[in-house]
Structure 1
């Protein structure tokens, strides 16, 4: 609106012009003696007999987009005499909320999810350690072993995949079956300790509703990082650069000691199910991938790491030679080619 304290020159009718690109504008009700041209067009001109009348007409201006879009912006050019102001207008289809039943206890709030490949001895030790503390919590296992073994037990769901589909394909499968608000991701060779507390994870996530992923510490290895992205030269189509800065953080997590806001965490974390599904895990990354999920989630996931949230790690056990043959295939070149294309990059620094 125009400042009512503005002194209008004598014999000049106050006039405002509004111009849009993606929509049309109109004044809902025009009193007798006032003039509005361009109703339901992209340019709207309002002439009034006084500044008070001009402001009253401006308060009735409506905008309607002319194309159906889910989310975009328009720039509105507001002109008054020799002055022009440009302000953005958001056009967005409203979405409905997705709610989860909070349930009565931790078993209804959290599902434990893991991916396994050839490590059944380790997997069963993990399950035993979970059941010692959480006898009823749901456990989801994505299994792409060459010769799958049946893993049985109360509230355990094992999903058999085609052989050697890979790390991220398994993660996608496991997370797709989660029905609780949160899931706790663990490796199949982790082990729950007396100090391992899912409740502590949930307490922090509930206190910070904007938080999407909360990482802990595996045998004292907290492993967190930030990501620094620099866009390429504008107008030249040049890719950007992405750097992973290990042990760097953005800021402390307000209200929680030993918790830091970061961009990526260790492979032991609690996450909001719906937030992770929106990002997903790229199944083209099969053997050597973890940071890549957080790269894809940069700017879309709020991530934190807390030193006091702990889990153990088993000693190296069976099938090491066979497991390593698949686990440590050289995928570095293929992974970088994927980043350069998919993320429009010219350099990646881990």
Structure 2
């Protein structure tokens, strides 16, 4: 790892009721970036503190948005890496390449792509709102160097700390915050995706306590907050999920053997 990555980047992880996922993620980070500073915020009912990271216990069910805002205030480095707790670093998770984008452009947020057993999840999109219909278009609105320009990327991104400390998450949204965050800052944050930076997403739903609280993003309480805020009554997604076969040539033998069994 280049020395300046650990000097300039902090990884932040909001976790809830999935200590086994968190453990897997932290071990994967330390495998590839052993000196990277990691800050965890845990609002589980019975948190299990760790001594190998900077660990903060928040009040039970504080929520994703409040947890991320708290984490962001703890960051002292110029950049931070946002991570969900059910990610795993792989050979293709290059912080250096993401940092290179920020250091050589006016881009504020640069995301990577999530690969799963079912394929590549394409979370990146361009927003349009017309007649109260939010449409997420799969194609970028532009390109700069190696990256493509979008309005929204996955919750796996590197960003400028000072810029996002001024553009925070809406703490009314304990879950279901993703669209709202990027809708709120469309035109205020310059967002890009690097098409060849990947992280593995386990999408672990094995904990029933986690599922109970996570599934609130389908309830009217949370949908109405961001829909009323942005004048939306319907959402149409034009995102594409790719087959893993489409990107096999970009994955290492280790990644393929570990996660895809061949």
TM-score class normalised by the smaller sequence: 0.7 to 0.9
Of residues 56, 59, 66, the one that matches 1:159 is 56
| 2:111 paired residue number | 215
| 1:176 paired residue number | 73
| 1:142 paired residue number | 41
Asked if 1 retains the 8 angstrom alpha-carbon contact of 2:25 and 2:89, the reply is yes
Per the TM alignment, residue 291 of structure 1 is displaced from its structure 2 partner at its CA by 1.5
TM-score under structure 1 normalisation?
A: 0.62
Per the TM alignment, residue 248 of structure 1 is displaced from its structure 2 partner at its CA by 2.8
Asked if 2 retains the 8 angstrom alpha-carbon contact of 1:227 and 1:242, the reply is no
Aligned residues: 231
Q: Provide, for residues 55-87 of structure 1, a one-character-per-residue CA deviation record: whole Å limited to 9, x for no partner.
A: xxxxxxxxxxxxxxxxxxxxxxxxxxxxxxxxx
Tell me the distance in 2 between the aligned counterparts of 1:111 and 1:162. 23
Per the TM alignment, residue 104 of structure 1 is displaced from its structure 2 partner at its CA by 5.6
Per the TM alignment, residue 326 of structure 1 is displaced from its structure 2 partner at its CA by 1.1
Unaligned runs of at least 5 residues, structure 1: 1-102, 231-239
Tell me the distance in 1 between the aligned counterparts of 2:152 and 2:75. 22
| 1:267 paired residue number | 155
Tell me the distance in 1 between the aligned counterparts of 2:72 and 2:133. 27
Per the TM alignment, residue 243 of structure 1 is displaced from its structure 2 partner at its CA by 1.7
Tell me the distance in 2 between the aligned counterparts of 1:300 and 1:136. 32
Unaligned runs of at least 5 residues, structure 2: 237-262
Per the TM alignment, residue 336 of structure 1 is displaced from its structure 2 partner at its CA by 3.9
Secondary structure at the residue paired with 2:102? Answer: helix
| 1:198 paired residue number | 95
Asked if 2 retains the 8 angstrom alpha-carbon contact of 1:107 and 1:138, the reply is yes
Asked if 2 retains the 8 angstrom alpha-carbon contact of 1:117 and 1:143, the reply is yes
1:1-350 maps to which residues of 2 (within 5 A)?
Answer: 105-153=4-52, 156-208=53-105, 210-219=106-115, 220-229=120-129, 241=132, 243-253=134-144, 255-256=145-146, 259-314=147-202, 316=204, 318=206, 320-329=207-216, 331-343=218-230, 345=231, 347-350=233-236
Q: Provide, for residues 160-184 of structure 1, a one-character-per-residue CA deviation record: whole Å limited to 9, x for no partner.
A: 1110111111111111111111111
Q: Provide, for residues 304-343 of structure 1, a one-character-per-residue CA deviation record: whole Å limited to 9, x for no partner.
A: 112111111236375x222111111255422343235434
User: Greater RCO between the two (CA within 8 Å, min separation 6)?
Assistant: 2
Asked if 2 retains the 8 angstrom alpha-carbon contact of 1:166 and 1:286, the reply is yes
Secondary structure at the residue paired with 1:306? Answer: strand
Q: Provide, for residues 15-63 of structure 1, a one-character-per-residue CA deviation record: whole Å limited to 9, x for no partner.
A: xxxxxxxxxxxxxxxxxxxxxxxxxxxxxxxxxxxxxxxxxxxxxxxxx
Tell me the distance in 2 between the aligned counterparts of 1:280 and 1:116. 18
Asked if 1 retains the 8 angstrom alpha-carbon contact of 2:127 and 2:135, the reply is yes
State the structure with more CA Rg: 1
Tell me the distance in 2 between the aligned counterparts of 1:342 and 1:294. 13
Tell me the distance in 2 between the aligned counterparts of 1:121 and 1:223. 25
Tell me the distance in 1 between the aligned counterparts of 2:216 and 2:232. 24
Tell me the distance in 1 between the aligned counterparts of 2:232 and 2:90. 43
1:310/1:146 CA distance change after superposition, 3 Å: same
TM-score under structure 2 normalisation?
A: 0.82
